Amino acid sequence: MKIQNPIIRGFYPDPSICKANGIYYIACSSFQYFPAVPLFESTDLIYWKQIGHCLTRKSQVQLHEVPNSGGIFAPTLRYYEGFFYLVVNNNTDSKNFYVFTDNIYGEWSEPIFVEQKGIDPSLFFDEGNVYFTSNGEDEKGNPCILQCKIDIKTGKKLTKTVPIWSGSGGRYLESPHIYHKGDWYYLMAAEGGTEYGHMITYARSKNVFGPYEGYQKNPVLTNRNLGGNQSCIQGIGHGDLIEGPDGNDYIVCLGFRQSSMWQPYHHLGREVFLKQIEWQADGWFSAKGSSTVCEWEEVAFDGNLQKEDQYDLTFDSSISTNPRWTYLRDYKKENYRFWEKELSLCGTEVTLNDRDSPTFIGVRQSEFFTHLSVEINGEAMEAGVTFYMDEDHHYDLFLSRENKEKWVILRIHIGDAEQIIMRFALEQEENAILEVISDKEKYQFYVRYKKKLHYLGKARTKYLSSEVAGGFTGVFMGLYAVDFHNKWSNFSNLRWIQRQQ
């Protein structure tokens, strides 16, 4: 059957995958967002449901005032003898640590730190030994993959950290994972940087510490040679290997969907893609069909292609238990109240422009084509909806209270420029029903007032893109409030439809 990529849509980068008791699990990076490391399950590798996050306590992850795209980088998720392990790097303090659990639907342990530098830490369990692998530099300062053996109970190093591979020559050698198949150890990595030159490369050795010999036809997977109208999928890299339901092996990796043909950009973040690999008689593997990833990939098993119910959003199901809602940095729990079909937010003096924790609760944008509608009332100075890339790049549509007047305001914030585009006066007793319609190129903003839809203005998706904003994240739709006197506002009748076309 043909499956549609991305298999997990929206800002879910650096996927790592494991399988336990017939179920697949994927964990992704989360940077400045909390809870950290979104976690998904699937029975068929195609239909993925978010089940929670791995790092849910401040004792596990400190995000106080971390820069955007700081915080939690690239996890590795593994299952070994009844336990799940998740190892990550908190890039803000440059520390690598892991947590574990025997119940992936419950809480994870406190962090155990490992004294090895470098990002993209990985764990490899093999014949009773545990290896800790990350990116780094050798004695001469050249990029390489580093490895040591650790005691998994304490995180203590049992051997020295040594360089094991220096890659195939691409810049930013990172994302190492080791697998043991037959007589060989395979070391898969990413090179080229997580942009348009991104790629997956690998090497093999009969010894876990090397020497590793690179695959002659590296990169084994990349979309870097596809440009113009050949492919809207770019940035393929940073992958992990897993055996599929059909017994074949697959790579899950990141990529993104670009907009615009010349000088392309992407604003939905890096997403999760699936590609089958094929083993050759000589013990090397290649990507099935071609070394590129397509939107529609043939796989040798059946599964559930249904995506819509994964990404549409309402308040009908309990907001407090829907794992897709996410906060910024070290949020203040007491400023959020969840009712059966409503949400109340208490504004603080922290605004969306601050590198801090405004009162904000958001969900990742997963499709270009979306339609949002939400009703807002209350006393906060500012309460509304934001399409938010980071504190320097966001479009805000909000109910504003100034000197007893009530307005709906559309404001855009791009880099150093902030501009109010439109103010629309409301009568005191009216609630504001805010609507936003997006497509690939733009967001269009409306207020529904006295049963009529009033157009307020538009703003381009381009200025919320990674190419403009920089960083590793993607756009969130967030509900937020700001108020210097801590007043509350109420959000109800939320409906956010996300469609592929």
| Nearest residue (CB) to ligand 6LW, 174 versus 483 | 174
Burial of 423 (0-12, 13-18, 19+ CB in 10 A): middle
Structure tokens at 413: 């914030």
In degrees and rounded to multiples of 5, residue 240 shows phi and psi of -140, 150
> Which whole-number Å values give the CA distances from 347 to 164, 379, 387, 426, in the listed order?
51, 9, 18, 21
CB of 198 vs ligand 6LW, minimal distance in Å = 6
Please say whether the beta carbons of 393 and 387 come within 8 A. Answer: no
Residues that bind ligand 6LW (CB under 6 A): 13-14, 29, 73-74, 119-120, 174-175, 190, 194, 237-238, 254, 472
> Which whole-number Å values give the CA distances from 113 to 93, 95, 117, 441, in the listed order?
12, 7, 11, 44
CB of 408 vs ligand 6LW, minimal distance in Å = 36
How far is the C-alpha of 124 from the C-alpha of 122, rounded, in Å?
A: 7
Burial letters for 42-77: b for 16+ Cβ neighbours within 10 Å, e otherwise? bebbbbbebebbbbbeeebbebeebebbbbbbbbbb
| Nearest residue (CB) to ligand 6LW, 29 versus 490 | 29
46 Cβ contact partners less than 8 Å away, ≥ 6 residues apart: 3, 7, 274, 299, 303, 304, 305
How far is the C-alpha of 36 from the C-alpha of 304, rounded, in Å?
A: 27
| Nearest residue (CB) to ligand 6LW, 33 versus 472 | 472
CB of 74 vs ligand 6LW, minimal distance in Å = 4
Please say whether the beta carbons of 357 and 331 come within 8 A. Answer: yes
CB-based closest residue to ligand 6LW: 194
Q: Which of these, 87, 270, 294, 293, lies nearest to 193 by C-alpha position?
A: 270
CB of 118 vs ligand 6LW, minimal distance in Å = 10
CB of 429 vs ligand 6LW, minimal distance in Å = 48
Query: From the centroid of its chain, how far is CA 69?
Result: 11
How far is the C-alpha of 138 from the C-alpha of 115, rounded, in Å?
A: 16
How far is the C-alpha of 287 from the C-alpha of 293, rounded, in Å?
A: 9
Instruction: Please confirm, yes or no, whether 174 is among the known catalytic residues.
Output: yes
DSSP output for 182-214: TTEEEEEEEES-SSTT-EEEEEEESSTT---EE
Instruction: Please confirm, yes or no, whether 14 is among the known catalytic residues.
Output: yes
Between the two ends of the chain, the Cα-to-Cα distance in Å is 22
| Nearest residue (CB) to ligand 6LW, 11 versus 336 | 11
The active-site residue, picked from 81, 138, 151, 174, is 174
CB of 473 vs ligand 6LW, minimal distance in Å = 9
CB of 114 vs ligand 6LW, minimal distance in Å = 16
| Nearest residue (CB) to ligand 6LW, 193 versus 323 | 193
Please say whether the beta carbons of 269 and 45 come within 8 A. Answer: no
Catalytic residue positions, numbered:
14, 174
